[in-house]
Amino acid sequence: MARLRPHIASRLPPGTHAVLAALLLLAVAIAAVLLPFRTQLRDQLAHRDASVLSALVQQRLSDAQPGQTDDPLAAVLDASIVPELPGVLEVHLFSPEGRPFLSLLGPASARPDVPWPSSSPLPASPLSRFAHGPPHRLELWLPLRSPRQPEPLGIAFLAFDASGLHAEYHVLDVRLARRAAMAFLLVGSLLASSLLLAFRRLEASNRQLAARSDQLEKANHELALAARTSAVGAVASHLVHGLRNPLAALQHAVTHGDPASPDAADSARRMRAMIEDVVRVLRDEQGIDAFEVPMDELLAEAARKARIQAPMAAHLHWTLHATPGPALDNRAANLALLVLENLCVNAAQALEGRGTISLRASHSSQPPQWLVLIEDNGPGIPESLRQNLFTPRPSNRKPGGSGLGLGLALSRQIARHLGGDLSLLVSRPGQTTFSLAFPSHHAHAHAPALLPD
């Protein structure tokens, strides 16, 4: 049986619990309004009967003989046998000060106390109270006054049979219960219908929102996968671009019959270094390893790899400087390293073994990003190449020569995978400056780790 409850609860319309709670609150509100109203109506009915009985007794006292007006006992006895009165259950007399005087009917031990302090004056009007039984009684406290004597004669307590009044109470309760039930059914049905309709619409909106959320999640996953695939493609293109010249040099050495020449060994070493770099970047793209790289170590690594790719770079003067700032995660560091390495190799080949290459990195907090300037004092980039500098085109680089070709286009693409950009700031005889800017919000401060070999 307990196993069926979740299954049954799952079949309930949406918002059922809220509707039940609203109906419960409605029932409480109706009861809170009707109960005081019921009490007020009962008091009015009891006061009505008490007023009628009091009027009859007072009329009887007023019609008493002159010789009887000074005798409250005779007056009350005479009044208590009025035919119009219902059955009298108890009659007790009290002095004007509230002291018991005489019990005419009923046991003296059951005689009640006056319901007001003895030091207070007599009330001007009778007091009444309905007492549940059985038997049901209507109790009446009646000040005895005579129109021919200003002083009060005393206080009379009369208890009447209130079966008729109790029957009226029952009829009143039945009518109030019917009216409350009708109000509850009418208002509750309207309230429940409105709430159920609203919850159905809300449930439909929730289903649509959940479906759209699933679609957005799938789209985000596909976009992330596309971005990773695009980054891997850019890195692969960078590898193919970088391998062309070492392969050409190696082919040249093999063709001329000297595969053991220094050029062949150098080309093979360069090819191996590039393949290891790309494998490391692809591994980081897959999230296998996670470490952090400070910016100054990244600049030093870029200079070291440029010396491997371009042997003439060993004769250059290098200037490296990085301001304090957050370290980079390994993915961003390796992608940035590919860009810096390519720019340094281009600068070294343009200088042809003579000159200075400067790498300066600075961090800004608004927005949080790194800005790396790559500067050399070479001849500059020809004017004919500046307009389409970052557009892919065939390369004029030959083994041992210089040229730009696809390298800058691939470097800009990799920079944009970092969320940044690569641009040419200055190009004139004696100065060429590139800027690499990328966000640092994925970086972490004070990382001691180095790039792996």
Tell me the pLDDT tens digit for each residue of 146-205.
666 667 777 888 888 888 888 888 888 899 899 899 999 999 899 888 888 888 888 888
Contacts of residue 449, defined as CB under 8 A and 6 or more positions apart, other chains included, come to 291, 292, 293
What's the pLDDT at 185?
92
What's the pLDDT at 11?
65
Residues 263 and 136 in one domain: no
Residues 129 and 236 in one domain: no
Q: Is residue 400 part of a domain?
A: yes
Residue where one domain finishes, among candidates 144, 161, 178: 161
Number of domains in the chain: 2
How far is the C-alpha of 46 from the C-alpha of 61, rounded, in Å?
22
Q: Is residue 178 part of a domain?
A: no
Residues 304 and 411 in one domain: yes
Q: Is residue 382 part of a domain?
A: yes
Please provide the distance, in angstroms rounded to a whole number, between the alpha carbons at the two ends of the chain.
66
Tokens of 389: 């500098």
Q: Is residue 3 part of a domain?
A: no
What's the pLDDT at 452?
39
**Is 288 within 8 Å of 406 (Cβ atoms)?**
no
How far is the C-alpha of 201 from the C-alpha of 191, rounded, in Å?
15
Structural domain including 231 reads: 224-439
pTM tops 0.85, yes or no? no
Residues 45 and 136 in one domain: yes
Residue where one domain finishes, among candidates 112, 145, 161: 161
Residues 95 and 238 in one domain: no
Residues 262 and 334 in one domain: yes
Q: Is residue 83 part of a domain?
A: yes
Residues 435 and 319 in one domain: yes
Contacts of residue 248, defined as CB under 8 A and 6 or more positions apart, other chains included, come to 398, 399
What's the pLDDT at 432?
94
- Torsion angle (degrees, nearest 10) of CA 370, 371, 373, 374: 50
pLDDT in tens, 340-376: 988 998 899 888 888 999 999 999 988 899 999 999 9
Enumerate residue ranges in the chain where pLDDT < 50.
Answer: 1-2, 4, 6-9, 68-69, 288, 398-403, 443-453
Tokens of 31: 């009861």
Name residue 345's beta-bridge partners. none
Residues 232 and 146 in one domain: no
